[in-house]
Structure 1
Amino acid sequence: MTSIDIPEGIYLELKKKSEISNKPIEDILTDIVLSTLNTEEEIRVLQSLSYEMEKRGDLLEEKGDLVSAGEAYWKSLSFILKAIGLRLGFEISTYQDYFSIIDYLSYKTGRNSLIVDFLNSEKLHGEFHPRPQDDNSFTIRRSHLKTLLTVLRQMVTQTEITY
């Protein structure tokens, strides 16, 4: 992650938006930038962000910060699901929308493992599972997430998802 110097007035507005939406400032900025892109550009950026968040999760996990690693892994998954949502013409505006896309993809592809992988992956998300996890649980859940990321990344690179 990089650091930038922004005018105080802009920072204060971002801070207000952050407090109102209960989202970190980096997420507010990400949403603003994504809203300026066309669909293909947005998909490309979301794919890149997914890889970046996965790497951040790996680094945080190596440092033993499993709660923060779980959040980074969840963001990685959320970015790739948003990219797939764009390909499918689905909007992700609620937490439930992530599961709806997985459920849809599982039904259309016959891959029930997508649901199992997702349900395990979402337990890495701090809002879902706010207490620290033991190493074994975390490792199992991360394994499901990595499997799911691989499958979803293959799906999103298809020019057009035809499910």
Structure 2
Amino acid sequence: MAPIPGWVYVVLGIFMIISSKLINRATEDSKMSVFFIVGIIFLVIGIAKYMLANYLENRRANSHAKKQAVTQAALDIYQHPGQASTRHPAAHQAPVAPESARKATPQPLHPLDLLQSQKAPKLKQKINEPYTIEPGQGQQHLSIITCPACGTKHYSYANFCMRCGTKMR
């Protein structure tokens, strides 16, 4: 369960104080003085929660700033002479080959990769185009249909479009 925020205590405390005073004046009876005291307690608890939350937030911010300062000081201590203060100096980066050199070098294929690529069927479908069955592919079940109104793709068992509500069949 989440803790109750301080503003809830403050609002409830103020409401209880005001309502108990109004009822006491109207009835000229002091039976509501218990609610007046409980309202004051709620108000004090709410203000204390505000102050505690503010204190803890400042403390966390200060500790975070101290950690960053210590980390930066440690990086500066281990800096090589004549080197700029960076976390990843250029000497430690891998050299990058030009684009033409990368394209010219073919990647060697594992024998299993060659077998897999030979067995895989070659699909002539392009991205974002409807799937069509080629005459030589054999019988296939199409399980995706599109909405006639908005064109949203659905499974074949859908009765209504999930986007616009049009009946699919």
Greater relative contact order (Cα 8 A, min sep 6): structure 1 or 2? 1
TM > 0.5 fold call = no
Please report the TM-score for the alignment, with normalisation by the length of structure 2. Answer: 0.20
Please report the TM-score for the alignment, with normalisation by the length of structure 1. Answer: 0.21
Structure whose residues are more often helix by fraction:
1
| Structure having the higher Rg | 2
